[in-house]
Structure 1
């Protein structure tokens, strides 16, 4: 049995009545840590993480799904965690992103739209001898290797 697949099922079952919450990632690390990342349209409360942890932990123990000792960690993605899901992009519209492209280039700009096929950012482009111009660029998801929200402390 694929443990990550089973955990996804258990998390989805637990948050089925919470349309504001969504699963971002499940990973069983070689170190014995089973990490679950859950996000929410309006953030995730500690009580949500606790409830998910109890539900998943209870069922994994009942099913004796993991042979070796493991540690279950349920959390929301940190600010420096790359965006992985479409809903995370939607949640971060109007925030600035740093995007690494699959061709090795990097773009920075304000996320102004997210759709199933990709995102649109507004970026400042400066050509030699001219003033910087704000342009909109559409970037298909398959061209993105990593996206991180840029935090401004201004």
Structure 2
């Protein structure tokens, strides 16, 4: 989708104004004339509402200036939330020490504490042993939320 690509480019530029922030994903939902633009960002040390607001204003101004969205739209900038899959190397690094639920490409589910992120793999601490998983094996990973 052309609009999504343009917005992703604008969001990438806006995020570079912050050393510790990075773009996770951009989604455009709805029909032309009534769309919702979702920009998901994260930071090495979390993200503040103020940072989301600054990025939203910058991207919104650029969208208006370039005038490529047809009709009305809403723009939301936020962190991805815990139920959003981990997709970037930098997200794995940020989540060292947290429990992950990892689905492998062969359908096997693996859980454990993320103890290490290597160039090509992650290491999960499990009860019996540490398990190394190559990124190529991983279909998706999510932070496992526990309420103790």
**Map of 1:129 onto structure 2:** none
Equivalent positions of 1:1-154 (< 5 A) are 2-30=2-30, 32-124=35-127, 133=128, 135-154=129-148
SS state at 1:142 partner: helix
Unaligned runs of 5+ in 1: 125-132
1:69 CA drift (Å) = 2.4
For structure 2, the residue ranges without an aligned partner over 5 or more in a row are none
Partner SS for 2:41:
strand
Name the SS for the 1:137 alignment partner.
strand
Give a deviation string over 1:51-107, Cα, whole Å, max 9, x none: 111111111111111113221110001122111111111000011101111111100
Work out which of the two has the higher radius of gyration on C-alpha atoms and give 1 or 2.
1
Cα-Cα RMSD: 1.6
What is the CA-CA distance between 1:5 and the residue it aligns to? Answer: 2.2
C-alpha distance in 1, partners of 2:8/2:121? Answer: 24
CA offset digits 1:11-38 (Å, max 9, x no partner): 2222223111111111112352111000
Query: In structure 2, do the counterparts of structure 1 residues 42 and 103 end up closer, same or farther at CA, with 3 Å as the change threshold?
Result: same
Describe the superposition over 1:87-146 as per-residue Cα deviations: whole angstroms up to 9, x where unpaired: 11100001110111111110000101123322111122xxxxxxxx2x121112222122
The list of structure 1 runs, each at least 4 consecutive aligned residues, that deviate by more than 4 angstroms after superposition, is none
Aligned pair count reads: 145
Distance in 2 between the 1:15 and 1:66 partners? 21
